């Protein structure tokens, strides 16, 4: 049996990628075995749809990042359904990309196919977020994404992540999850504040990613995201050999994007005073009518033929009906009461004789 040696990176990744066993042979080749079956695990490249240089995949991700990032950063709070659509689309795209890169085998699929699949799933989520039924889900997802965007950037501020120890790799995700949970609570408790910070955070994250792709291609934030999320056992060797060692420009871009997040959130707060969801003109008129002009009960009862309002007390003062009778009413009264007619006639003759 050939003598085996373990490099530092190999030992760290062996602990990180358990149950994968990494064995470096004497001739310098690295072989990965499964401790469960003893079979060799073939290895592939962890490009994960990123492409290389300024390939078609890379250009698509650059355009995608700026197309979504700039509007969210500058006016995400005013985007309403466009913003909720982007939020749901990003959630589906991130989840699907994570599933793909962690479940594909060493052969996998081409970068362009993976990119198109993820973008197509984003489009489906975006369309769902445009609907009224997806509005509240989009609001919540935007808040969560704002926190995740901050947490991920904090973790990427150091080579081999914020907590580089392989045995404590989960701490990086604990920090990211805490940031996401905090912003989720914030958007429920104080929706306006949560949405302002969420829009600005996601926008600055995407803009920083697009900028870094232009400056450093796949060696900056792109590499960091793949190193953080891709734990595929078929990509162990690639992850070990390349790691995550961001250039200084990447660290500057990330730090600057974090610092600008509250500034853009405050700017949107000043520019957009209204609600996140616009109120229709008809709703405003009905709201004002119900508050400023309450329904007149008397008018309502007259409308249905009841001349006496229910809350109006009955008058106890006797009312003379004669004062309201016309000539025809006098004749009807005399016909109904004939005993009073002679008296009335005599009185009238007496009055005439006196005249």
Model pLDDT for residues 69-94, shown as the tens digit of each residue: 999 999 999 988 899 999 999 999 99
User: Whole-angstrom Cα distance, residue 172 to residue 218?
Assistant: 21
For 45-68, the pLDDT digits (tens) are 899 999 999 999 999 999 999 999
Model pLDDT, residue 286: 44
Give the whole-number percent of the chain exceeding pLDDT 70.
Answer: 70
Model pLDDT, residue 167: 86
Structure confidence at residue 184 as a pLDDT band (50, 70, 90): very high
Model pLDDT, residue 336: 54
Q: What is the 3-state secondary structure (H, E, C) of 133-195?
A: HHHHHHHHHHHHHHHHHHHHHHHCCCCCCCCCCHHHHHHHHHHHHHHHHHHHHHHHHCHHHHH
CA distances for 176 relative to 56, 199, 346, angstroms: 31, 17, 109
**How far apart are the two ends of the chain, measured CA to CA in Å?**
153
Question: For residue 178, what are the contacts with CB-CB under 8 A and spacing of at least 6?
Answer: 151
User: Whole-angstrom Cα distance, residue 222 to residue 309?
Assistant: 75
Counting DSSP H helices and E strands in the chain, the numbers are 14, 3
Backbone angles phi, psi at 109, to 5 degrees: -130, 165
For 125-168, the pLDDT digits (tens) are 999 999 988 889 999 999 999 999 999 999 999 999 999 988 89
Per the CB < 8 A criterion, the answer to whether 83 and 77 are in contact is: yes
On the question of pLDDT at 303 being above 50, the answer is no
Model pLDDT, residue 22: 59
Mean pLDDT of 232-239: 88
On the question of pLDDT at 2 being above 50, the answer is no
Per the CB < 8 A criterion, the answer to whether 20 and 32 are in contact is: yes
User: Whole-angstrom Cα distance, residue 181 to residue 198?
Assistant: 12
For 270-300, the pLDDT digits (tens) are 998 877 766 444 443 443 444 444 445 554 4
């Amino acid at each position: 049996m050939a003598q085996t040696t373990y490099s530092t990176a190999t030992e760290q990744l062996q602990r990180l990628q358990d149950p994968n066993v990494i064995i470096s042979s004497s001739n310098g080749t690295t072989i990965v075995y499964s401790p469960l079956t003893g079979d060799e695990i073939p290895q592939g490249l962890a490009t994960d749809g990123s492409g290389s240089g300024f390939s078609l995949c890379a250009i698509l991700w650059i355009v995608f990042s700026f197309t979504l990032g700039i509007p969210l950063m500058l006016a995400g709070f005013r985007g309403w359904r466009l913003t909720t659509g982007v939020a749901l689309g990003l959630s589906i795209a991130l989840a699907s990309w994570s599933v793909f890169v962690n479940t594909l085998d060493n052969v996998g699929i081409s970068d362009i196919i993976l990119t198109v699949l993820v973008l197509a799933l984003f489009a489906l989520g975006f369309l769902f977020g445009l609907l009224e039924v997806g509005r509240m889900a989009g609001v919540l997802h935007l808040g969560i994404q704002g926190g995740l965007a901050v947490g991920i950037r904090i973790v990427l501020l150091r080579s081999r992540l914020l907590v580089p120890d392989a045995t404590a790799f989960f701490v990086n995700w604990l920090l990211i999850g805490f940031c996401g949970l905090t912003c989720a609570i914030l958007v429920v408790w104080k929706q306006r504040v949560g949405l302002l910070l969420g829009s600005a955070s996601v926008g600055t994250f995407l803009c920083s990613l697009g900028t870094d792709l232009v400056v450093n291609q796949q060696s900056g934030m792109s590499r960091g995201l793949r190193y953080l999320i891709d734990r595929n056992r078929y990509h162990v060797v690639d992850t070990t050999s390349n790691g995550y060692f961001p250039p200084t420009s990447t660290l500057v871009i990330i730090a600057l994007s974090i610092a600008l997040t509250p500034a853009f959130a405050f700017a949107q707060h000043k520019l957009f005073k209204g609600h996140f969801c616009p109120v229709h003109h008809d709703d405003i008129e009905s709201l004002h009518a119900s508050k400023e002009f309450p329904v007149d009960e008397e008018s309502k009862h007259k409308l249905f033929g009841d001349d006496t309002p229910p809350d109006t007390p009955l008058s106890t003062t006797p009312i003379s009906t004669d004062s309201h009778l016309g000539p025809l009413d006098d004749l009807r009264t005399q016909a109904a009461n004939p005993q009073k007619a002679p008296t009335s006639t005599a009185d009238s003759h007496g009055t005439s004789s006196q005249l």
